[in-house]
Amino acid sequence: MTSSNDDTWNPNVFFTVMKIAVGMSGGVDSSVSALLLKKGGHDVIGVIMRIWDGRYSMPARKNACFGPDEAEDVASAQQVCDHLGIPLHVINCAQQYEEFVLQYFRSEYIAGRTPNPCVRCNHMIKFGLLPKLLREKGERFDLFATGHYARIEFNQSSRRYLLKKGVDPAKDQSYFLYRLSQEQLSGIIFPLGEYHKESVKQIARDAGLSVSDKKESQDFCSGDYGAILNAENREGPIIDSHGKMLGTHQGIWNFTVGQRKGIGVAFSEALYVIKIDPEHNAVVVGTRDEVRRSRCMVSQINWIAAEKPESRMDAMVKVRSTDQGNPATIELTGPDSATVSFVEPHAAIPPGQSAVFYDGNVMIGGGIIASVE
């Protein structure tokens, strides 16, 4: 079936009955995804990953992905699958999650950068390891689905799968998916890409799903980051942009570029973290004007819309998931690196975070912010 653009095909819309594995989370979005596919006549199975093994000391909090209340999410997913009459596979991914996500998270913070564990988890664990381990258990399925608010289309001219924003601008999650490969995109569907969140909740209520009003995850872990970082205090200076000492900190990993609250320095106007200097164990702070930057260097870029993009292009660039996007010029400096120059200075561009490029609703690609100017 073609979309409004005759050159693209939307794999979320199909007529052939398929066997589809749905990555369950115990929340409303993945549950409604399974429901919609089941109602569409497909052979649906559920799968949920265990990533908590109890090695960290942190409180249970129901609005986080990683934490000691994971058993409740598994129970919720099982209840939904029982209600829908589909099996649920529970797969232990805790060791791989520790190796590929938490160790990365730890090393980035200690190095003075701000990591994005959800991006890494999606690429390596949720859309990589999880379906792989499910197949190794003997399950054969055609497609893997999740409750993400995003869309996938296949472009006939470029012969590439495109990743697009979900139609609900308040819930679009494409930013977190930019590292997915063409191979991964070819085997994925997002049943909620064309839906708004309130419609999804209403579908769950109408179907009598127990998770219809369950609070969704707001962070990736349920405690403060200290439990994961497991770093001893290391006192260092808090300085202004001229090198004047304003106070001390107990570890650069407690700060991120753009941070305003919790700096611990009294000043005549609001101060922001404008730089983290791991070499000198220093946190540099400044005013709102000083935290604004016009350019950043991006590395490890994953190009989605085109295998060989133009060497210079204009795009809307998001440097955090909550951004609406800011106009910028992207100039390639290598096959997977570029300089991003914003039309207007951008407030707080944290090294380690992701810069994701869009042409309207279509994602061009994205990479890791290496440095800022």
Please list the active-site residues. 121, 221
Query: Are 152 and 304 within 8 A, CB to CB?
Result: no
Q: What is the layout of strands, in order, in the sheet containing 43-50?
A: 88-92, 43-50, 19-23, 143-145, 188-189
Return d(Cα 342, Cα 317) in angstroms, integer. Answer: 8
| CA-based radius of gyration for the chain | 22
Q: What separation in angstroms does the CA of 38 have from each of 41, 43, 64? A: 5, 7, 27
Query: Are 210 and 76 within 8 A, CB to CB?
Result: yes
Instruction: Tell the burial category of 198 from Cβ atoms under 10 Å away from its Cβ (0-12, 13-18, 19+).
Output: exposed
Return d(Cα 373, Cα 354) in angstroms, integer. Answer: 16
Return d(Cα 130, Cα 244) in angstroms, integer. Answer: 50
Query: Are 192 and 198 within 8 A, CB to CB?
Result: no
Return d(Cα 71, Cα 26) in angstroms, integer. Answer: 10
